[in-house]
């Protein structure tokens, strides 16, 4: 192709490119703004839950790349590129991710319950918890993103799914000098607390 022909084609495309440029800039600025809002929101969540930057880094990176991909696809579409196949690929990937989320819904339920426990603070490490419907009782010694660990008066450990606390009635007996759930969540080892005393006949589930 000669330079003159190339220049003629570029000249013919120039008006449409100039017309599409403001829309592309708006899309890019919108993507930057969304990234800032998401990053700020995750940072505030980390501060509220005492999570570290390493804990929220995977979610932050995943959302950041998702926004970037959507922005690139939209900008290319504004400039007239045929992106039917690319959109189909993106929607297929998103559908697969959605199916994966459904498949691991139970795990996500426990993780969401953990975050709510840290924020709402219905109990703390060192408190005595009893779930009468499950015939489980003990003193809270640990918390992770799936289970709350209790130790009973015999020294046995019970691991209670975190979402159970939002589905069942449980009894809390507050103990002094407890540790917050957010602090224990970042502690790789169970808290050093003494087992609760043996239950009495009047109160079989402490």
- What are the CB-based long-range contacts (under 8 Å, 24+) for 120-124? 121/180, 121/181, 122/165, 122/172, 123/172, 123/174, 123/181, 124/178, 124/179, 124/180, 124/181
Name the domain count of the chain: 2
Residue 11 sits in the same domain as residue 73: yes
Please indicate, yes or no, if residue 117 is contained in any of the structural domains. Answer: no
Residue 82 sits in the same domain as residue 153: no
Please indicate, yes or no, if residue 47 is contained in any of the structural domains. Answer: yes
Residue 129 sits in the same domain as residue 187: yes
Check residue 195 and report its DSSP letter: P
By the 10 Å C-beta count (0-12 exposed, 13-18 middle, 19+ buried), 104 is classed as: exposed
What string of pLDDT tens digits covers the 206 residues of the chain?
Answer: 566 565 566 565 566 667 677 888 888 888 888 888 888 877 777 776 656 666 667 677 777 888 888 888 788 777 766 665 666 666 776 676 666 555 556 666 777 888 888 888 899 999 999 999 888 999 999 998 888 999 998 888 999 999 889 888 999 988 887 888 888 888 888 888 888 887 766 555 54
Is the dihedral angle over the CA atoms 47, 52, 54, 56 positive or is it negative?
negative
Residue 92 sits in the same domain as residue 131: no
Residue 19 sits in the same domain as residue 99: yes
Residue 131 sits in the same domain as residue 76: no
Please indicate, yes or no, if residue 78 is contained in any of the structural domains. Answer: yes
Please indicate, yes or no, if residue 156 is contained in any of the structural domains. Answer: yes
Residue 86 sits in the same domain as residue 138: no
Please indicate, yes or no, if residue 32 is contained in any of the structural domains. Answer: yes
Residue 145 sits in the same domain as residue 58: no
Please indicate, yes or no, if residue 152 is contained in any of the structural domains. Answer: yes
Q: By residue range, what is the domain housing residue 143?
A: 124-206
Residue 136 sits in the same domain as residue 185: yes
* Cα–Cα distance list, 28 to 50, 76, 162 (Å): 32, 11, 40
Distance CA 83, CA 198 (A): 68
Residue 169 sits in the same domain as residue 203: yes
Please indicate, yes or no, if residue 116 is contained in any of the structural domains. Answer: no
Please indicate, yes or no, if residue 111 is contained in any of the structural domains. Answer: no
First-to-final CA distance of the chain: 86
CA dihedral 60, 65, 66, 68 (to 10 degrees): 130
* Cα–Cα distance list, 195 to 138, 141, 191 (Å): 8, 9, 11
């Amino acid at each position: 192709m000669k330079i003159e022909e190339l220049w003629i084609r570029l000249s013919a495309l120039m008006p449409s490119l100039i017309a599409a440029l403001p829309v592309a800039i708006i899309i890019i600025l919108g993507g930057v703004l969304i990234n800032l809002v998401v990053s700020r929101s995750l940072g505030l969540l980390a501060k509220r839950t005492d999570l570290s930057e390493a804990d929220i880094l995977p979610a932050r990176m995943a959302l950041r790349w998702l926004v970037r991909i959507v922005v690139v696809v939209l900008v290319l579409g504004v400039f007239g590129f045929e992106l039917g196949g690319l959109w189909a690929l993106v929607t297929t990937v998103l559908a697969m991710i959605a199916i994966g989320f459904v498949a691991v819904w139970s795990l996500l339920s426990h993780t969401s319950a953990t975050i709510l426990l840290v924020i709402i603070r219905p109990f703390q490490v060192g408190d005595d918890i009893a779930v009468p419907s499950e015939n489980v009782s003990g003193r809270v010694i640990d918390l992770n993103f799936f289970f709350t660990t209790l130790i009973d008066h015999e020294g046995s450990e019970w691991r209670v799914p975190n979402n159970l606390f939002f589905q069942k009635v449980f009894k809390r007996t507050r103990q002094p000098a407890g540790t917050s759930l957010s602090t224990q969540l970042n502690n790789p080892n169970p808290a050093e607390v003494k087992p609760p005393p043996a239950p009495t006949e009047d109160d079989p589930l402490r």
